[in-house]
């Protein structure tokens, strides 16, 4: 499913496993320690091999833990994608702790970093809606709006894909993208 943003830019939604994506970079729903974990984080480290964790360790040694909503880049190791952008999403409490702003920041800062790196295509998982407990029907509209807005503001990134692991998550993002497209007409 594809949504045109104008200016030759688009957002695509697909069901699948993000480790198989051949975009220039894939985004990892990491945690602030950057030491790997479960869910999509574990899958990316397993598929990409140890070079990713080595770079994560070097980054933490240099600049400390990653703040929520911020992003850093490493190699893609053995992945098809050349780079992994690691971002730490918010842990969802009850919505009153700035969770939406932090989640929007993950998408916005990933797009901006990719753009500064000269990358054209990027794939995202559904950040924070697994272990971090963000209800997907609340996360999806935040993610879609933040991504569309950030893409309109950059030069190089022309395609962002959401790669969604299960039917429920895919349906939530599809509904959010349709509503966003309606509203922006």
Query: Which of 105, 110, 121, 169 lies at the binding interface for ligand ADP (CB under 6 A)?
Result: 169
Cβ of residue 184: shortest distance to ligand ADP, in angstroms?
A: 25
Confirm if 130 and 136 have CB atoms less than 8 A apart: no
Cβ of residue 180: shortest distance to ligand ADP, in angstroms?
A: 19
41 is catalytic: yes
Of 130, 154, 129, the residue nearest 142 (C-alpha): 129
Confirm if 79 and 47 have CB atoms less than 8 A apart: yes
Asked if 160 interacts with ligand ADP (CB under 6 A), we say: no
- What are the tokens at 164? 């969604």
Asked if 67 interacts with ligand ADP (CB under 6 A), we say: no
Asked if 52 interacts with ligand ADP (CB under 6 A), we say: no
Asked if 123 interacts with ligand ADP (CB under 6 A), we say: no
What residues are paired with 85 via a beta bridge? Answer: 27, 73
Provide the pairing of β-strand 83-88 with 71-75. Answer: antiparallel
Asked if 141 interacts with ligand ADP (CB under 6 A), we say: no
Buried b (16+ CB within 10 A) or exposed e, 89-110: bbebeeeeeebbebbbbbbbbb
Query: Which of 29, 73, 81, 113 lies at the binding interface for ligand ADP (CB under 6 A)?
Result: 29
**CB nearer ligand ADP, residue 65 or residue 156:** 65
Asked if 131 interacts with ligand ADP (CB under 6 A), we say: yes
Asked if 98 interacts with ligand ADP (CB under 6 A), we say: no
Q: Report the alpha-carbon angle 58-59-64, nearest 5.
A: 115
Which residues sit at the interface with ligand ADP, rule CB under 6 A?
Answer: 17-19, 29, 39-41, 43, 89, 125-132, 163, 165-166, 169
Catalytic residues: 41
């Amino acid at each position: 499913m594809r949504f045109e943003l104008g200016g030759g830019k688009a957002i695509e939604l697909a069901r699948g496993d993000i480790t198989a994506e051949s975009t220039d970079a894939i985004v990892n729903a990491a945690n602030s320690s950057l030491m790997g974990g479960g869910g999509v984080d574990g899958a990316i480290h397993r598929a990409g091999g140890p070079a990713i964790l080595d770079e994560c360790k070097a980054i933490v040694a240099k600049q400390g833990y990653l703040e929520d909503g911020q992003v850093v880049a490493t190699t893609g190791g053995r992945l098809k994608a050349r780079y992994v952008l690691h971002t730490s999403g918010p842990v969802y409490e009850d919505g009153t702790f700035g969770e939406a702003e932090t989640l929007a920041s993950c998408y916005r800062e990933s797009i901006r970093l990719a753009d500064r790196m000269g990358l054209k295509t990027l794939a995202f998982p559904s950040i924070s809606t697994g272990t971090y407990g963000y209800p997907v029907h609340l996360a999806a509209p935040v993610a879609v709006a933040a991504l569309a807005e950030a893409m309109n503001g950059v030069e190089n990134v022309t395609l962002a894909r959401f790669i969604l692991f299960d039917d429920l998550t895919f349906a939530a993002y599809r509904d959010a993208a349709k509503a966003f497209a309606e509203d922006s007409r």
